[in-house]
Structure 1
Amino acid sequence: MADHQDRSFEELVAEGVAVPTEGWDFSWFEGRATEARPSWGYAVSLAGRLAGARAVLDVQTGGGEVLAFALGRAAGAPALLAATEGWPPNVARATALLRPRGVVVVDSGEDAPLPFADGAFDLVAGRHPVRPHWEEIARVLEPGGTYFAQHVGPGSAFELVEYFLGPRPEAARDTRHPDRERAAAEAAGLEVVDLRAERLRMEFHDIAAVVHFLRKVIWMVPGFTVEAYESRLRALHERIESRGPFVAHSTRHLLEARKTRKTR
């Protein structure tokens, strides 16, 4: 466990601000924050699918860490590997990590059409895409191709979100509901063949972990800065010091869908 109890609020906040936010490597949190992992083991499951695929696209790859892990575990590699990412620091990070593994990283914004031909891939994967663009996913999949992904679910970490922003409307909790995503995937021409959801415990052991998390996962508290939320941060620091870790719960769902018909 980190020695957070011996350090001041100012020191911890400064550390949380100083940590780089590029990529999806969460190893910095070790000893100061925890999150239970879904039972299905997405990255290992993805590794098992790579060897049997011909052409693979990883959408919104972040820093490429999850795809790199899966490739390292896979028994073989597809002939074609591509990944998209839209945030420039992550594009550079993913390119450095994935290009030696034979992956072409394409700079493409999360709201942009996927820059690939119709039916180019037999497997499209994604871990925590901000928004899955179902029509585009269906378009670039070949008939019979598979979308395999882990998504953030509804109301994820809302205990932390509502600590800073106050109670959220019910509609805000429901935007990532797996039933809605099933309906959207089916409307785009995909058949959902597996859909599993879990609610998982999170613990924040010091205020540096909270600061870094909110800087890294920017959609949790939009526009978050230490200056804007200093009083709430200080109160939370005192709460953690006196009562122990701040507990929240993430939600995740595993979704597998198959393209059943020609789209567009």
Structure 2
Amino acid sequence: MTDAEFARPQEWRAAHAAAMVGWDFSALDGRMTADEPRWDFTAECRAAMASATRIADLGTGGGERLIELIGDLGAAAESLAIAATEGWEPNIEIARRNLAPFGVGVHRYDSEAGDSLPFEDASLDLVVCRHESFDAGEVARVLAPGGRFLTQQVDGREAHELREWFGGDPLHDDVTLANASSEVAAAGLRIELADEWTGRMTFADARALVEYMALVPWDVPGFEVDANISTLRRLDAARPIVVTQRRFRLAAVRD
């Protein structure tokens, strides 16, 4: 075994100490690449915001993408009433700090905990939701007639290779286009668009892969470096490491 091979487990342990701040994968720049869906969800949200006045961004992370959208709208954003929600505790104060200069309030909200959306009935004309769980009934409740719901989701079966390599069960394998479409329709919203996509995510080496799994620990719950040294060595020897991405999107309206 070379000195480099001997040192790698120590590097992997250090990488596994990484933690997400906001919703930012920049620590993996140059070491992880990901295909983009054939659609542009940010552009779709931007277009919808341009014709809306009362907007909520569900699962805003650290507010990064919402700030980008507000910046794209320029002066037109000043006339919009925009609010955001976030359910992951470490991100709530980050989002509040980042979005305060834009006049955007951030509400603590977790649909998986059974929370009610912190908005009045029929009070919004646009709800956007990127990679965040949602309660279709609550979305329908807060949308005014003619209001729209736009969501892009990570399919719960994404990166199935990780569970094949390291074990464990997916936490959200019920998150699929078919299930989301059924829930949205059952809530009384009319689906205008439903689409899904498959692509690739590529890691330069096992260290990048371990760091990614630390940033999104729900992909492989309970993963530990020391229990998987042999698998990590095998993957690292065959670098780059490729896993499957899965995305879907829905657009719906309340008539």
Q: TM-score, normalised by structure 1?
A: 0.86
Partner AA of 2:110 in structure 1: G
Residue 36 of structure 2: aligned partner: 37
Matched, 1:159 2:158: no
Matched, 1:237 2:236: no
Cα distance in structure 2, aligned partners of 1:6 and 1:162: 24
Change (3 A) 1:6 1:99: farther
Tell me the secondary structure at the aligned position of residue 43 of structure 1.
helix
Cα distance in structure 2, aligned partners of 1:72 and 1:8: 45
Does structure 2 conserve the Cα–Cα contact (< 8 Å) formed by 1:32 and 1:206? yes
Partner AA of 1:39 in structure 2: R
Tell me the secondary structure at the aligned position of residue 182 of structure 1.
helix
Cα distance in structure 2, aligned partners of 1:194 and 1:157: 25
Residue 70 of structure 1: aligned partner: 69
1:173 CA drift (Å): 8.0
1:137 CA drift (Å): 0.6
Matched, 1:114 2:110: no
Residue 128 of structure 2: aligned partner: 125
Partner AA of 1:230 in structure 2: D
Cα distance in structure 2, aligned partners of 1:205 and 1:101: 37
1:154 CA drift (Å): 4.0
Task: Output one character per residue of 1:131-166: Cα deviation in whole Å (capped at 9) or x when no partner.
Answer: 220000110111110001111114111111221116
Does structure 2 conserve the Cα–Cα contact (< 8 Å) formed by 1:48 and 1:74? no
Partner AA of 2:51 in structure 1: G
Does structure 1 conserve the Cα–Cα contact (< 8 Å) formed by 2:189 and 2:253? yes
Residue 27 of structure 1: aligned partner: 26
1:69 CA drift (Å): 1.6
Tell me the secondary structure at the aligned position of residue 28 of structure 1.
helix
Cα distance in structure 2, aligned partners of 1:87 and 1:173: 16
Stretches of structure 1 lacking an aligned partner (at least 5 in a row): none
Task: Output one character per residue of 1:197-218: Cα deviation in whole Å (capped at 9) or x when no partner.
Answer: 1001011222232222222223
Residue 207 of structure 1: aligned partner: 206
Does structure 1 conserve the Cα–Cα contact (< 8 Å) formed by 2:18 and 2:214? no
1:230 CA drift (Å): 1.7
- Over the aligned positions, Cα root-mean-square deviation in angstroms equals 2.2
Residue 259 of structure 1: aligned partner: 254
Cα distance in structure 2, aligned partners of 1:231 and 1:50: 47
Stretches of structure 2 lacking an aligned partner (at least 5 in a row): none
Residue 93 of structure 2: aligned partner: 92
Change (3 A) 1:62 1:200: same
Bigger mean CA offset, 134-143 vs 108-117 = 108-117
Cα distance in structure 2, aligned partners of 1:140 and 1:63: 23
1:93 CA drift (Å): 1.1
1:259 CA drift (Å): 0.9
Cα distance in structure 2, aligned partners of 1:6 and 1:66: 39
Does structure 1 conserve the Cα–Cα contact (< 8 Å) formed by 2:156 and 2:175? yes
Partner AA of 2:93 in structure 1: A
Change (3 A) 1:241 1:179: closer
Change (3 A) 1:250 1:90: same
Cα distance in structure 2, aligned partners of 1:113 and 1:199: 32
Cα distance in structure 2, aligned partners of 1:124 and 1:238: 44
Matched, 1:184 2:183: yes
Matched, 1:148 2:150: yes
